[in-house]
Every structure is written in structure tokens, then in C-alpha cells.
Amino acid sequence: MSVLYDRLALEHPGAPVIYLSTGAWNVAPTLTRFLSRNLYPAGPLLLTDWGPTHDRIFRSGRQHKVDSLKRLAEELPDVKWLLIGDDGQHDEEIYGEFALEHPDRVAAVAIRQLSAGEAVLAGGRTKAEGYAEKTSVPWVSAPDGAGLATELKRIGLL
């Protein structure tokens, strides 16, 4: 995946690279080291707080992603996003809903298909609920960065 991200950064100079994750802020140093050591392009981390809220014991990672995408759309109105996620933590649904609401703001959605072991660690797989057919936004998926690169090249983003 790091090679894919690097190719995208080279192909689209000046485009922001933002890492949106359900991970908690206390993992930021570890995550930053991982990204740097594995040669991912530099970019800010949008992580979530850990702990209870007024109505639940644990914060909603899904809601964090939804709210963060909304905020990014508002704060960076001229950016057309390539949303990259996986089929493990509702990314397909979250990105699909965002693409339906803001089709002019999404260049494409790219979903990495988790391996069986990764899916177990992620708590299972989610389904896109046909978002690829519901929106005019290009939708690609593959099991790894090389496959996603091939698909992104096919639709003209690489």
C-alpha cells in the first residue's frame, strides 16, 4: 500500500494526504513511526478520542469517520477526494454515503479487500450495499496496493 500511496502523491503533487482512522490518539506516535518506516507519504492523522461519551461507554469509530469526512468537505471545499479504505470497518458504507451526498467531491473510492486473517482481526468484513451502482463515482477494489494501482490506472487516476 505504501507504494500505491507514494505513486499517488507523485502523480498528484500538492494533493493532501490525510490518514483518517478509528485508532485512538494514544497510538499516534506508533502509527507515525509505522507510516514513516514503511515510506508512506507524510500527512496528518485524524484519530479518535478514547473513552466514554455522554451516551455510550466507547466512542463510535464509524461516527468519527463520518464526522471527519464532513469536516474535511467543509474545510477543504476545492479538494476532490480519492477515498481509500478496506472492507473491514464500514469504510465501504461510509465512503459510499459520502460519495452519494457529494459525488462532485469524490474522484473515486478504492477499497482494499482484507485477507481472511486481517478480516478476523478487523472484526469481519462489511458489504458495500451496492454503492458502486448507486453513484456515478468510480469504485475500485483489489486485495492489495498493486491491484488497486492497476484499477486506478484503468480509470485514469494513476
User: What range defines the domain where residue 21 resides?
Assistant: 2-154
The larger pLDDT score, comparing residue 95 to residue 52, is at 95
pLDDT reading at 110 higher than 70:
yes
Residues facing residue 46 across a β-bridge: 20
User: Is residue 130 over pLDDT 90?
Assistant: no
Nearest-angstrom CA–CA distance, 134 and 118 = 28
pLDDT digits (tens, 9 = 90+) for 6-43: 999 999 999 999 999 888 888 899 999 999 999 999 99
pLDDT per position as a tens digit, 48-74: 876 665 665 555 667 889 999 999 999
DSSP 103-145: GGGEEEEEEEPPPHHHHHHHTS----TTHHHHSSS-EEEESSH
Task: Tally the domains of the chain.
Answer: 1
Q: Give how far Cα 44 sits from Cα of 17, 25, 41, 138, Å.
A: 7, 12, 10, 25
pLDDT greater than 60 at residue 90 = yes
> Above 60 in pLDDT, residue 116?
no
What pTM, to 2 d.p., does this model score? 0.84
For residue 72, the domain's CATH number is: 3.40.50
C-alpha cell of residue 56: 455510550
Rounded Cα distance between 132 and 136, Å, is 8
Query: Which candidate, 110, 112, 109, places its Cα nearest to that of 143?
Result: 112
- Secondary structure class of 99 (helix, strand, coil): helix
